[in-house]
Structure 1
Amino acid sequence: MNARMLRRAGVLGLVIGLLAAALAYWHATSGPDPRLTQGYEIIGGQVFDSEQADEARKRQIEHVGGKAAVWAVEFNEWFGSLWQGTRLAATLAILGALTMLACFHIAGLMDEGHDP
């Protein structure tokens, strides 16, 4: 594979990533209002609204596993949120751009090897 083909692959990756991002964004914004899906949760036999449930769950996790467990759970939830809704669209656009940059960088390194 030569540098020109790698650059074309990078542009194709960007275009596909942006199209996928646009489709994901359209799909996420055309669905029901996310506030309607939030409500109440049951934790330990008690009913809490969403914010109270989140705090109760964090206290329970901290009691069992310490502060590090709470941080691990929060990181896991953040990372999982990147693959849903409008955040998925942003993630796909960024991954498409990174693919293009990586291809262009490697193509530039290939061109350097052919300089006399």
Structure 2
Amino acid sequence: MNGSNQPDPSTTRLSPRKRFYMAGAAILIVSLIAAAMLYAVAPPPDSAVSQYSIADPRYQIELQRIGGNAEVLMAQLHDWFDGLWQGTALAGTVAVLGVAMAGACFFIGHYFIDDEPRR
């Protein structure tokens, strides 16, 4: 006890609102740095891959004969989703997911009820 009414700085804690804001800022900074690094080291797209992908009209015709239009649509969706995790698209995916997670932290922090009164 030091005799004053000030609390001991070693026992004071950040409010949950400030913790969410700081977590959101940290997530945003780390994800954007990671996305920039991924974009910088991503190899160029391979032209041979596109030759045998869903974009080939012969493949689409055969796929439509076997499974119908729904199968072609599902193959295109699957091809798009697989493309999100490779090359420069991975950098964009990491950036978007990081911004979404940081936004969720900011949103929760904004609506979090503090125990201390507002000024």
Residue 50 of structure 1, CA deviation: 4.9
Identity %: 32
- TM-score, normalised to structure 1's length? 0.76
Which structure would you say has the larger Rg?
2
Partner of 1:23: 37
Residue 39 of structure 1, CA deviation: 3.6
Q: Amino acid of the residue matched to residue 20 of structure 2?
A: L
Partner of 1:2: 16
Partner of 2:9: none
- Structure with more strand by fraction: 1
Residue 111 of structure 1, CA deviation: 3.5
Cα distance in structure 2, aligned partners of 1:63 and 1:101: 45
Residue 107 of structure 1, aligned match among 97, 106, 109: 109
How many residue pairs get aligned? The number is 104
Structure-2 change in CA distance of 1:65 and 1:50 (3 Å): closer
- Structure with more helix by fraction: 1
Pair 1:54-2:68 in alignment: no
- TM-score, normalised to structure 2's length? 0.74
Structure-2 change in CA distance of 1:6 and 1:16 (3 Å): same
**What is the root-mean-square deviation in Å for CA atoms of aligned residues?**
2.8
Cα distance in structure 2, aligned partners of 1:27 and 1:108: 36
Cα distance in structure 1, aligned partners of 2:81 and 2:65: 23
Moved over 3 A (4+): 111-116
Give structure 2 stretches of 5+ with no counterpart: 1-14
